[in-house]
Amino acid sequence: MTISKSDLKNKVIQEIEKSKDKIIGFAKDIAENAETGYREVKTAEKVKKIFSDLNLNFTDGHAITGVKSSPIAGKSSGPTIAVIGELDGLIVKDHPLADKKTDAVHACGHNCQLGSMIGVGLGLINSKANELLNGNVVLFAVPAEETIENEFRINLIDEGKLGFISGKQELIRLGSFDDIDAAMLSHATSKQSDGDLAVGGTSLGHLVKYVEFFGLASHAAGAPQDGINALKAANIAMMAMDSQRESFEDKDKVRVHGILTAGGTSVNSIPSIAKLEWRIRGRTIDVVNKINIKIDRSIKAGAMAMGAKVRIRSIAGNLPMLQNKHMNNIYLNNAENIVGKNNVVLHPDDQSGGSTDMGDLSQILPIIHPRSGGAEGTGHGNNYFIKDYEKSVITPAKAMATTIIDLLWPDDMQINEVINNHKPNYSISEYIALQNKRMGNDFNDYTS
């Protein structure tokens, strides 16, 4: 019996629909157990459990907590497409759903990605659609997309447990993407302007700064003249960094922002240590490098003014995201079939915003990073909730699964065209060399 491509798509959509309570239940369970990057132990266990329910083998421990399914194999060998879900939550202290002990919460909706990833696998397996395709699908639950808790991660780097700071960067370095030819990830969105499903857009590149000012403690009232105030050095550095803003060019889409993570321990002692976690973002890595010179100068100015010492760690952050146009068009077409043309938004390439390590992956592989509606509030905010799990999880699962059918359908095998026409900016070894070059550890002593 032969089946048409569109009938097969309908069959997969029906299977996802049939199991939607299970898929949504899984996404909700992940949300109730949020963990931050490289600590997603319970979350990884839940992914392993559901892979086992689907009779999927897996390997674990990819970049500490990542879990990668064995291929959902096609009828003949062919390219391998990864469907990615990010394991990590954020820290938003005043979010009503934040974990009581850790303040971790899924305020970026990554739990929905894991749900959609399972939806795609379940749809292909239960409909046996994979048995008609030429190629494989891998479900890959990956750690640490959010670049947070940088002191913890830098310690892991110093201990040799990590090479790079975000999950996909590290997975690329370790070879976990070596057998993947293309990848997709659908991210939840609370922006009304994204409609039900949104396609396209870019993200900014970034550099992580971790700064430690070292002063000298003394009695804050009895002998302040004997101390060196590290907090004041940090204050001057923050003011100097802010003063650079008038020189930023609009076209470069620069964002410079950060937090003071240590600024003293007791009010009657001159603070001897102050720490900053800072971020420099821009349209390109060249822009980030250009701004980094001004930021380094500003940080040193703070230490110099107070006669303190300062260590500036620069950690290679995300690269800008380039989405594959051919894959985007296929996804767009399926999205329109699923939710109607009026509910799909196509973003231009010049759209800016945050950063993601899908950007890093996009520099070496063809990828897409569509978005799905259903969330409300502000991403990363205390009012971010998934209001409509069907829109956030089920709809994108259907759109991704049907896109995979187009890519691996034996009669046209659009994946081959995607791969043959894709010109990656870097090979994996070039990517690793580039990111290693962006690492810095600069110690300056202005005490004498």
The footprint of Zn ion (CB under 5 A) covers 108
Q: How far apart are CA 121 and CA 136, in angstroms?
A: 11
> The tokens 């086992």 sit on which residue?
52
Across 317-447, the runs of DSSP E, i.e. the strands, are 344-347, 367-368, 371-372, 375-376, 385-386, 440-445
Across 186-252, the runs of DSSP E, i.e. the strands, are 187-188, 197-200, 205-214
Which residue, 24 or 108, has its beta carbon nearer to Zn ion? 108
Cβ 108 to Zn ion shortest distance, Å: 3
Which residue, 108 or 139, has its beta carbon nearer to Zn ion? 108
Q: How far apart are CA 238 and CA 276, in angstroms?
A: 9
Q: How far apart are CA 232 and CA 308, in angstroms?
A: 10
Cβ 2 to Zn ion shortest distance, Å: 41
Which residue, 113 or 127, has its beta carbon nearer to Zn ion? 113
By Cβ distance, which residue is nearest to Zn ion?
A: 108
For the chain, helix, strand, coil in percent to 5 are 40, 25, 35
β partners of residue 82: 138, 183
Cβ 310 to Zn ion shortest distance, Å: 29
Cβ 340 to Zn ion shortest distance, Å: 26
The CA–CA distances, whole Å, from 356 to 77, 175, 322, 360 equal 31, 19, 11, 8
Cβ 210 to Zn ion shortest distance, Å: 20
Which residue, 111 or 235, has its beta carbon nearer to Zn ion? 111
What angle, 0 to 180 degrees and rounded to 10, lies between the N-to-C axes of helices 428-437 and 167-174? 130
Which residue, 97 or 304, has its beta carbon nearer to Zn ion? 97
Q: How far apart are CA 176 and CA 286, in angstroms?
A: 28
Which residue, 127 or 203, has its beta carbon nearer to Zn ion? 203
Cβ 237 to Zn ion shortest distance, Å: 26
Cβ 162 to Zn ion shortest distance, Å: 20
> The tokens 């001897």 sit on which residue?
272
Which residue, 50 or 108, has its beta carbon nearer to Zn ion? 108
Cβ 113 to Zn ion shortest distance, Å: 8
Which residue, 108 or 394, has its beta carbon nearer to Zn ion? 108
Across 239-352, the runs of DSSP E, i.e. the strands, are 255-262, 273-282, 309-316, 344-347
